[in-house]
Amino acid sequence: MLDSLERTFGFRAFRPGQEATVSAVLSGRSVAAIFPTGSGKSLCYQLPAVLLPHLTLVVSPLLALMQDQLAFLAARGIPAASIDSTQSREQVQATMARAKSGELKILMISVERLKNERFRHFIGQVPISLLVVDEAHCISEWGHNFRPDYLKLPDYQKQFGIPQVLLLTATATPAVIADMREKFAIAAADVITTGFYRANLNLQVEPVSGTARTARLVEWLGARAGQPSIVYVTQQKTAEELAAQLCGHGIPASAYHAGMDYADRERVQRRFMAGTLNCIVATIAFGMGIDKSDIRNVVHFDLPKSIENYSQEIGRAGRDGQPSDCLVLANRDSLSVLENFVYGDTPEREGIQCVLQEIASAREGQWELMLSSLSERSNIRPLPLKTLLVQLQLRGIIVPRHSYFAEYRFKTLVDVQELLGHFDGERRAFVEAILTTSPRARTWSTLDFAALYERHGAERGRVVRALEYLQERGWIELESQQMTEVYGVLDAGFDLDALCEALYRYFKRQEGSEIARIGAMLALFASDECLSRRLARYFGDERAPEHCGHCSVCRGQVARLPEPPALPTLAGQALRTRCGAFLDKYQAARGVPPSADCVTRFLCGIGMPFFTRLRARTLPGFAALERYSYEQVYAWIEWQLPAGDEGAHPS
């Protein structure tokens, strides 16, 4: 082990926790390694992978993380590869062949890849020594960043006969660790933590009213001119506005959020990493996989989503061990925005019922769906909809089979006769049939699979393979759209009402857990106990000093978070005056009145899938009550909706 550490990786000694983790894995045991951000978790699977006899399968949530780690492994001569959605069919097949032959030591995939029946069949034929789950807290419904597809991983471990697992994460509370242990049968002694206390991070919580935050941020960053800094905000529009304001005050800054073009995000990130840009104003879209050691300042302009998010985000500061400042500009002004993100992810009963009715009416034991279309029909956001589908899998109702693109279109890049001239006989006739049966609009032709099958008996799979071949040769440009997922229906005879209620209660429990997590974060920031100590204890670490000496509490500055400005009472106001156009448009579009939850989401400015079709953001009243709490608005709406309206009074 030590010989491989130096010979392969160039390290003469392990960092804290690494040796115990690697030793346990090489002894054949399953392990959970909980190390702070930037403390060398990756080596804990990379070194065993070199020494274990078979493949190490790594499940990672982010493509950028995979690419960085593959580059690291390639530089050390370790045969490793990934399979992801950016690759061609030939690239995927080549990687599979390397895995089957035993050439590969490490294969990296996203968890969604395991939903594909063909991939599961392939991986079931490959001997696997170790399953590695990166960002393993995603597996727990009681953790942050919960990823529903992670719930299936224990089943996959059994299905593929993988003898042991290694779970890696930087943020796991005792409850999440217990959940991880139970799901993968990990012994208590094989949970290895190195502690959450960071002696070089100066944690500061400063109470400041919402209107004074920008001026305080300008003053604070101005005193740290030129230092690499990340400013975290909740909403994309805040990132854009705040970056512009900082630039206006002579602090060069760029926004970074998921709403930007990929190329623009990459450009901003490259400049920050290279040091030509020293301040980024970002949503949580920025951070995972960022390996910059000299970030001196992390500021939370808005409250973070949870203590786990706070810990992960400040963990990006001071990885070089040098003193770094982490500031929270704290108040309760944006509390309703944070809570509204949570409430928006809880499906209405009607939405769950819509999905269950579709499954119950599926024919021949097969159910096909396009996630975006189902999301709109059920009015359930994509992430909770994925959670719902996984819950139905765990209950034995459905099982994923495969997926395919519903629509293909192409444009020819060479003369048609020249293209056909590359073929003869039956193959020429087949290609000609593809070209002649595909309706053309100006430059793009759209595949008509039904016509091809009816007139020429052409199977869909062969047609797609032919198009991909033509594209590889540079004769056509090919585009695919509308991913369709295919599920097998294992139990169509379920009790619809009982299952709907059980699933709704599941989501309500999740909602309660998330709201409680926000409350725990506020309690941390307003605490009169050492912030470093309290943060460490939240994650079950009792080793932090009682008084760190470098947090705002230890400096005698206990935060008393200012209350948000008082809002006018809603009592006596008429609902129709606030959103009459929305009520009428919803009723006309769906044939039933909106529920109290639905109207609350409209007035609180919470985006929902069906709102896009209604163009709800353009209607009077959208987000008019976004500063009020969800419960306040819901209670005010509930008593105003007619008692007889179906779905108007969800409990």
Q: CA quadruple 583, 610, 369, 508: dihedral positive or negative?
A: negative
pLDDT at 489: 96
Average pLDDT, the chain: 90
pLDDT score of 27: 96
Q: Which of 8, 19, 119, 118 is nearest to 59 (CA)?
A: 119
- Which of 426, 205, 414, 456 lies closest to 314, judged by CA? 205
CB within 8 Å of 361: residues ≥ 6 apart: none
Give the residue with greater pLDDT, 497 vs 89: 497
Distance between CA atoms of residues 154 and 151, nearest Å: 7
Higher pLDDT, 459 or 588: 588
| Contact present, 279 and 252 (Cβ < 8 Å) | yes
Give the pLDDT confidence of 221-235 residue by residue, as tens digits: 999 989 999 999 988
Nearest to 193 by CA among 210, 173, 212, 207: 173
For the segment 76-82, the average pLDDT, to the nearest whole number, is: 94
Distance of CA 231 to the CA centre of its chain: 20
Which pLDDT score is estimated for 228? Answer: 97
Instruction: Say what percent of the chain tops pLDDT 90.
Output: 63
Question: Tens digits of per-residue pLDDT, 86-137?
Answer: 777 778 889 999 999 999 999 999 888 888 777 888 898 999 999 999 989 8
Flag whether pLDDT at 529 surpasses 80: yes
d(CA 389, CA 164): 27
Q: Which residues pair with 327 in a beta bridge?
A: 204, 299
Asked if pLDDT for residue 3 goes beyond 80, the answer is: yes
Q: What is the pLDDT of residue 649?
A: 35
Question: Residue 59 has which token pair?
Answer: 């499940």
- Residue 64 is predicted with a pLDDT of 64
CA distance 378 to 383: 13
- DSSP per residue over 3-48, as a string? HHHHHHH--SSPPTTHHHHHHHHHTT--EEEE--TTS--THHHHHH
Can you give the C-alpha Rg of the chain in angstroms? 27
Residue 144: pLDDT band (50, 70, 90) is low
Domains present along the chain, CATH in parentheses:
2-193 (3.40.50.300), 201-339+514-538 (3.40.50.300), 363-491 (no CATH), 575-638 (no CATH)
Poorest-pLDDT segment among 155-169, 187-201, 560-574: 560-574
572 compared with 220, residue with greater pLDDT: 220
Q: How far is CA 591 from CA 139, 374, 539, in A?
A: 39, 18, 49
- Give the orientation angle of helix 43-51 with respect to helix 18-26, to 10 degrees: 30
Cα separation of 458 and 453, whole Å? 5
Is the pLDDT score of 56 beyond 70? Answer: yes
The angle at the Cα of 365, spanning 360 to 370, to the nearest 5 degrees, equals 70
Q: What is the mean pLDDT of residues 198-220?
A: 95
pLDDT tier at 200, thresholds 50, 70, 90: very high
In which band, very low, low, confident or very high, does the pLDDT at 453 lie, cut at 50, 70 and 90? confident
Q: How far apart are CA 363 and CA 361, in angstroms?
A: 6
Alpha carbon separation from 278 to 232, 281, 292 (Å, rounded): 14, 10, 12
Q: Report the predicted TM-score, pTM, of the whole model to 2 decimal places.
A: 0.78
Q: Is 34 in a helix, a strand, or coil?
A: strand
Secondary structure (DSSP) of 503-520: HHHHHHHHHHHHHHHHHH
Report the pLDDT value the prediction gives residue 483, as an integer from 0 to 100.
Answer: 81
pLDDT tens digits along 591-649: 989 999 999 999 999 989 999 989 999 999 999 998 898 999 999 998 887 653 433 33
Quick one: pLDDT at residue 648?
Answer: 38
